[in-house]
C-alpha cells in the first residue's frame, strides 16, 4: 500500500465520505479511506435484493433537513425522489398517524370530545407547536392529562420498552422529544423544509461523492490492523505518520475497550420477500402496543420503486449490545454515566492532536444524516483552514 497519503479516514459512512471528499477536493490532499465492511456508505448502505427491491440493510433511512448547505451539498451528488415520510401506529388493528397530531386526536376520541381537547391543547401550547410527551404529562389540567396518558400508553410506553428496555421517563428526554405531539393536521413524520430519498439510493450517492482522483478506498480493512497510537505519535503500517487520521468508528474499540465497553442498543433485522404488489398502507408501520418488533418497513413505499408481484418488508427487533463482533452498535445510550465513560476515552485521544474524531460512533451521539453531514463539512472547513 502507498504511504504518501496526507490524511487517512477511518470508516466510509457519511462522516468519512464527506470529510474525504472535502480534503481531496478543496484541500487537494491525497486521502486514503479504510473501511472495515466490504461496502461503502456505512449504515446508509442500500442494495437491490433478489427481487430487485432496493433495501436498506441497516434500517430504513429517510433524508430530511432544514440545513440549506447540507441539502445543496448532497444535491451535488444525487437527484432526489420527492418523498414525504408518513408513519402510522398499529394500535390494536387501528392505524393512526404518528407523531400523534390533531388528525390522530379525531380518530381516537368522539367528535365533540376531540374538538374540545383540540381547543384546549391549542390554547395551552399554541397552534402548530411540538409538545414532547414528557412535557404534556406534566400538565395539571385533567383533560390534558388524559390525552397525555392516552399517547403515553398507546404510542410511547411499549415501543420505548422494546427499543430501549426502559420506560420513556427513564431515557434521555431528547430521544422521545424527537417524536413530539404535533398540534397540527400535518401527517408527515418530519416537518423539515427538505425531505426525500436519493433518486438511485444512498450507495450511488456516496459512490459519486467518493469518485475523486485523490481518494483511494480499501474495503475489508480494519483500522486497528493499519494504525497504532504510541507516545503521542501515529503509526501507519508500522511507520511514523505525520498526516491526520479522521476516525469515525467506535472510540472504545480503538482502545481495546480498556475502560469497558461504551453502551449501545443494537437491532436485529428480519427481511421477508412477499409475492404481492403491496403489503401495508405506509412505508413504516410502528407496533406501539403489541408484537416484539418495533416497526415494519416496506421499502418500495419509500423509494417509489414500481415492481409488480413482489415486495420486501423488514421487521426490526431491538436487542442488547454485548460485543462488536456479534452485534452492530446502532444507538448510543446517552446518560450521565455513559458520557463520563466516553469522556475517559476522550482523555486518551488528547495526546494525539492528529487523531481527529467525527461521526455517530466516534462522537457517541444520536445524529441524523443531515447533522453528520453538517458536522463533517464544518470539520473539513477547519482542517483546510488550519493547514
Ligand atoms: P456509520 O454510517 O455507522 O459509518 C461508520 C463506518 O465506520 C461504518 O461503515 C463502519 O463499518 C466503519 N468502521 C467502524 N470501525 C472501523 C474500523 N475499526 N476500521 C474501519 N472502518 C470502521 N438518519 C436520518 O437522517 N434519517 C433516518 O431515517 C435515519 N434512520 C436511522 C435508522 C436506524 C436504525 C439508525 C441506527 C440510524 C438512523 N439514522 C437516520 C442515522 C444515520 O444512520 C446516521 O446519522 C449516519 O449513518 C451516521 O453516519 P456515520 O458515518 O457517522 O456512521
Ligand atoms: N417512539 C415511540 N413510539 C413511536 C415512535 C417513537 O415510543 O411510535 C419513541 C422511542 O423511544 C424512540 C424515540 O421515540 O426511540 C425516537 O423515535 P425515532 O423514530 O426518532 O427513532 P429512530 O428513527 O431514530 O429509530
Q: Which residues contact 330 (CB under 8 A, 6 or more apart)?
A: 43, 58, 59, 264, 265, 266, 267, 321
State the pLDDT at residue 267: 98
Separation of CA 12 and ligand 1 centre (Å): 9
Separation of CA 296 and ligand 2 centre (Å): 13
Whether residue 167 has its Cβ less than 6 Å from ligand 2: no
Whether residue 248 has its Cβ less than 6 Å from ligand 1: yes
From the list 296, 278, 299, the residue with the least C-alpha distance to 287 is 296
Separation of CA 357 and ligand 1 centre (Å): 14
Q: Residue 109 has which C-alpha cell?
A: 376520541
Whether residue 312 has its Cβ less than 6 Å from ligand 1: no
Residue minimizing CA distance to atom 47 of ligand 1? 43
Q: How far apart are CA 307 and CA 244, in angstroms?
A: 46
State the pLDDT at residue 1: 77
Q: Which among 61, 203, 224, 319 is the best mutation to test ligand 1's pocket, defined by most ligand atoms within 8 Å of the CB?
A: 61
Residue minimizing CA distance to atom 19 of ligand 2? 179
State the pLDDT at residue 3: 79
Separation of CA 176 and ligand 2 centre (Å): 6
Map grid coordinates 368522539 to a residue.
110
Q: Give the number of the ligand closest to the Cα of residue 316.
A: 1
Burial class of 240 by CB neighbour count within 10 A (0 to 12, 13 to 18, 19+) = exposed
Map grid coordinates 403489503 to a residue.
279
According to DSSP, the β-strands at 244-247 and 239-241 are unpaired
Q: How crowded is residue 363: how many other Cβ atoms within 10 Å of its Cβ?
A: 19
Sequential DSSP letters for 60-78: ---EEES-HHHHHHHTTT-
Whether residue 189 has its Cβ less than 6 Å from ligand 2: no
Q: How crowded is residue 373: how many other Cβ atoms within 10 Å of its Cβ?
A: 23
State the pLDDT at residue 44: 98
Separation of CA 360 and ligand 1 centre (Å): 6
Q: How far apart are CA 242 and CA 234, in angstroms?
A: 7
State the pLDDT at residue 2: 78
pLDDT along the chain (387 residues), means of 10: 91 98 98 98 98 98 98 98 98 98 97 97 97 97 96 98 97 96 98 98 98 98 97 96 98 96 98 98 98 98 97 98 95 97 97 97 97 98 94
Amino acid at each position: 500500500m502507498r504511504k504518501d497519503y496526507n490524511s487517512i479516514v477511518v470508516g466510509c459512512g457519511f462522516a468519512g465520505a464527506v470529510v474525504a471528499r472535502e480534503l481531496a477536493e478543496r484541500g487537494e490532499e491525497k486521502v486514503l479511506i479504510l473501511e472495515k465492511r466490504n461496502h461503502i456508505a456505512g449504515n446508509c448502505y442500500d442494495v437491490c435484493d433478489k427481487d430487485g427491491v432496493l433495501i436498506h440493510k441497516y434500517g430504513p433511512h429517510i433524508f430530511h433537513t432544514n440545513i440549506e448547505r447540507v441539502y445543496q451539498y448532497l444535491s451535488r451528488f444525487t437527484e432526489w425522489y420527492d418523498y414525504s415520510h408518513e408513519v402510522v401506529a398499529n394500535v390494536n388493528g387501528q392505524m393512526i398517524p404518528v407523531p400523534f397530531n390533531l388528525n390522530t386526536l379525531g380518530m381516537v376520541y368522539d367528535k365533540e370530545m376531540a374538538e374540545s381537547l383540540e381547543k384546549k391543547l391549542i390554547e395551552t401550547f399554541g397552534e402548530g407547536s411540538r409538545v414532547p410527551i414528557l412535557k404534556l404529562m406534566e400538565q395539571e389540567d385533567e383533560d390534558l392529562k388524559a390525552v397525555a396518558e392516552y399517547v403515553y400508553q398507546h404510542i410511547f410506553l411499549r415501543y420505548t420498552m422494546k427499543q430501549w428496555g426502559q420506560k420513556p421517563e427513564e431515557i434521555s428526554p431528547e430521544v422521545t422529544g424527537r417524536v413530539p405531539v404535533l398540534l397540527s393536521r400535518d401527517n408527515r413524520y418530519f416537518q423539515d423544509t427538505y425531505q426525500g430519498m436519493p433518486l438511485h439510493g444512498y450507495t450511488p450517492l456516496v459512490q459519486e461523492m467518493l469518485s475523486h482522483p485523490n481518494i483511494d478506498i480499501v474495503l475489508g480493512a480494519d483500522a486497528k490492523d493499519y494504525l497504532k497510537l504510541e507516545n503521542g505519535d501515529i503509526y501507519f503500517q508500522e511507520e511514523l505518520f505525520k498526516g491526520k487520521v479522521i476516525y469515525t468508528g467506535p472510540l472504545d474499540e480503538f482502545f481495546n475497550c480498556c475502560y469497558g465497553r461504551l453502551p449501545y442498543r443494537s437491532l436485529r433485522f428480519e427481511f421477508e420477500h412477499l409475492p404481492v404488489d403491496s403489503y401495508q398502507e405506509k412505508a413504516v408501520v410502528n407496533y406501539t402496543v403489541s408484537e416484539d418488533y418495533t416497526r415494519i418497513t416496506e421499502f418500495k413505499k419509500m423509494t417509489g420503486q414500481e415492481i409488480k408481484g413482489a415486495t420486501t418488508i423488514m421487521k426490526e427487533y431491538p436487542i442488547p449490545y454485548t460485543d462488536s463482533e456479534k452485534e452492530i452498535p446502532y444507538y448510543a445510550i446517552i446518560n450521565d454515566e455513559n458520557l463520563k465513560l466516553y469522556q475517559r476515552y476522550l482523555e486518551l485521544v488528547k495526546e494525539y492532536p492528529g487523531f481527529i474524531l467525527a461521526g455517530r460512533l466516534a462522537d457517541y451521539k444520536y445524529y441524523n444524516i443531515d447533522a453528520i453531514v453538517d458536522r463533517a463539512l464544518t470539520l473539513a472547513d477547519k482542517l483546510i483552514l488550519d493547514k
